[in-house]
């Protein structure tokens, strides 16, 4: 089939964006380490384009020990300095510090709820939210749900996960399906 004839969400234009859109975005994720990966990546993306983060994703995997929250929670000042010097990732001091704090908060939620997946999916009673947008303009950048979850995560100690970043996370991990209705992935 000719790839140019496939209807996709309008934001998926570059090769990495298309691959991500076609195989990951909006697919429900229940694996804790994968959920944590998206927390780190969405947090890094704040204020930047997702395309930039996708280009740096493999570098993030290496720099952040394959997104292992148990290792990241124990990063020391030496590791922080290494991350700040790593040109393969977004070298933002506040985001790097927040990633370590978030790993610690993530582990506490795992202890309390048996998994982060149990915790995050409870907000939608383990159901995917289908918004049925006809166009990209109809997709909000935050919702009441993302505001609620963002506030809840903040009380649990998370940083850099405001309502907009939180909503992007919910979309990425398939809690929210925001594929436009004409997209071939909408009904997947």
Per the annotation, the verdict on 75 as an active-site residue is no
Q: What is the set of domains in the chain, with CATH numbers? A: 30-177 (1.10.340.30)
Per the annotation, the verdict on 42 as an active-site residue is yes
Confidence band for 1, pLDDT divided at 50, 70 and 90 = very low
Q: Which is the catalytic residue, given 24, 25, 30, 42?
A: 42
Q: Which is the catalytic residue, given 25, 50, 64, 119?
A: 50
**Hey, what are 61's tokens?**
């995997």
Over residues 42-92, the pLDDT tens digits come to 999 999 999 999 999 999 999 999 999 999 999 999 999 999 999 999 999
Distance, CA of 37 to CA of 64 (rounded, Å): 9
Over residues 123-143, the pLDDT tens digits come to 999 999 999 999 999 999 999
Judge whether residue 145 has pLDDT over 50: yes
Distance, CA of 132 to CA of 186 (rounded, Å): 8
**128 DSSP assignment:** -
- Token pair 């209807």 is at which residue? 7
Mean pLDDT of 163-186: 97
Per the annotation, the verdict on 20 as an active-site residue is yes
């Amino acid at each position: 089939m000719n790839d140019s004839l496939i209807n996709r969400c309008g934001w998926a234009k570059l090769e990495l964006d298309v691959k991500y859109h076609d195989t990951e975005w909006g697919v429900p994720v229940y694996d804790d380490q994968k959920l944590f990966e998206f927390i780190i990546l969405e947090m890094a993306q704040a204020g930047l384009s997702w395309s930039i983060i996708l280009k740096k994703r493999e570098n993030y995997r290496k720099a952040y020990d394959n997104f292992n929250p148990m290792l990241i929670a124990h990063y020391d000042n030496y590791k922080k300095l290494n991350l700040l010097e790593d040109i393969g990732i977004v070298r933002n001091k506040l985001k790097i510090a927040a990633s370590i704090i978030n790993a610690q908060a993530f582990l506490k939620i795992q202890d309390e709820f048996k998994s982060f997946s149990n915790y995050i999916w409870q907000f939608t009673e383990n159901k995917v939210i289908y918004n049925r947008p006809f166009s990209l303009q109809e997709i909000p950048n935050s919702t009441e749900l993302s505001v609620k979850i963002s506030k809840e995560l903040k009380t649990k100690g998370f940083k850099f996960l405001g309502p907009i970043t939180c909503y992007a996370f919910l979309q990425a991990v398939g809690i929210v399906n925001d594929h436009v209705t004409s997209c071939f992935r909408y009904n997947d």
